[in-house]
Structure 1
Amino acid sequence: MILSPFFRKLALTLHVISTMIWLGSAAAYIPIAIYVLTNQDVELVQSAIQIMSWIVNFIIVPTAFASLLTGVALSLGTRWGLFRHYWIIFKLLLTVIAVFFLIGYTRGLSEMASIASNVDLSVLQDREHIAHTIGGLVVLIVATVLSVYKPKGMTRYGWRKQLDTKNDSTPYSTPRWIKRIGFAAIVLLLVIVVLFFFQTM
């Protein structure tokens, strides 16, 4: 089903706005997380944790879901499709993974905010704040770059759909950049497994 021009523009506008708010909130979140890690004033750190919890629950999480849903709607309602191009699949996977980790982080942060007045600084000054924030920011930047550059390369499904509409007998081939990313992902996964193995020994 193809969206009408009005609804396509509306969905695109909502997608861009929600994604930029998510990106901006994640970037603004980094100084607060650094402040929590480096400050020794218990009351100020507790207040910062409360502020972080409010930002995550009322800005970052809603805009993350809005970005995901409007992105899926745009893919399904336009000629791009959801599974026809590799860049769309990568962007979808990155967004789903980011939302999944965001939900896990939100639960932990909410627990910290609820018990902030009863714990010491060592518990509140968790380095995961920085790791989650920087990781989320990198994922959002990569997804934005994919949206702007739209690297060439159709999936096998997209190629078959294109053949249905055109009389083209060009054989299917996986783009080089997909093979390189796949190889890099396998190497990264092996490194993570090895590091995890040595940590548990």
Structure 2
Amino acid sequence: MSTSTASRPVPAARDNHVRWRLPVRLRKTVLVVHVGSAGAWIGIDVVSALLVLIGWTRSGDGRTTTYQALADLFVVPMLYAALAAGVVCLLTGVLLGLATKWGLVRYWWVAVKLVLNVLACAMMLAFLGPITELSTGEQPLQDIWFVAFLASTAMALLSFAMVLSVFKPWGRIRK
């Protein structure tokens, strides 16, 4: 009778230790919500940028009317929707970080994504006031650059976060 040593699964290294795990279906659901909210956030930013470009193509009273309509009907509500999507993305990202091997501050790419998300949400909060003033006419319409800056910066930050999610660069923060 020969004894063969069957390969046994090796226990996970301490580095990949997760304090608690989400059940598979719940983890996948949270991941779908995370990716969906990030996609919605990017989509809202793209639409906001296009609306600002439409306003810039107008001149005189047409420009004023366009910007007021954009601010009242589109930009402010979309900004609130983007903020909601950003908060959902942040919360689901933190939950995934805590409940997966990636952790919140175990890998550089995850930590950078967390900072980018918080920064983008803070930017939206900071710009809500000036944009709301713009829609009420309290601020000159030349200051629409706030919306353009917000949309383009958010698109750049969110696109970079998406690239980080795919390529996962830079390795671990500490061993």
Q: TM-score range by the shorter chain?
A: 0.7 to 0.9
**2:39 equivalent to 1:17:** no
TM-score scaled by structure 1?
0.71
Q: Distance in 2 between matches of 1:44 and 1:8?
A: 44
Match of 1:74 among 74, 96, 108: 96
**CA shift for structure 1 position 124:** 1.6
SS in 2 for 1:82: coil
- Aligned counterparts, 1:1-201, within 5 A: 1-40=20-59, 41=62, 42-50=64-72, 51-57=74-80, 59-113=81-135, 115-116=136-137, 123-126=140-143, 127-156=145-174, 159=175
Once the two structures are superposed, what CA deviation does each residue of 1:39-94 show, in whole Å capped at 9, x if it has no partner? Answer: 2313232111112111112x211101111111111010111111110000011111
> What percent identity do the matched residue pairs reach?
28
**Paired AA for residue 142 in structure 1:** F
Aligned to 1:176: none
Judging by fraction of residues, say which structure has more helix.
1
RMSD: 1.4
* Structure 1 segments unaligned to the other structure (5+ residues): 160-201
Taking the aligned partners of 2:170 and 2:147, their CA distance within structure 1 comes to 36
- Range that drifts further, 15-24 or 146-155: 146-155
Count of aligned positions: 151
1:98-128 Cα offsets, whole Å, 9 max, x none, are 1111111112212222x23x76xxx123222
> Is the Cα–Cα contact under 8 Å of residues 68 and 95 in structure 1 kept in the other structure?
yes
Segments of structure 2 that go 5 or more residues without pairing to the other structure are 1-19
Letter in 1 for 2:160: V
Is the CA contact (8 Å cut-off) linking 1:27 and 1:137 kept in structure 2? yes
Indicate if the aligned counterparts of 1:37 and 1:125 stay in contact, CA closer than 8 A: no
Structure 1 runs of 4+ aligned residues shifted over 4 Å read: none
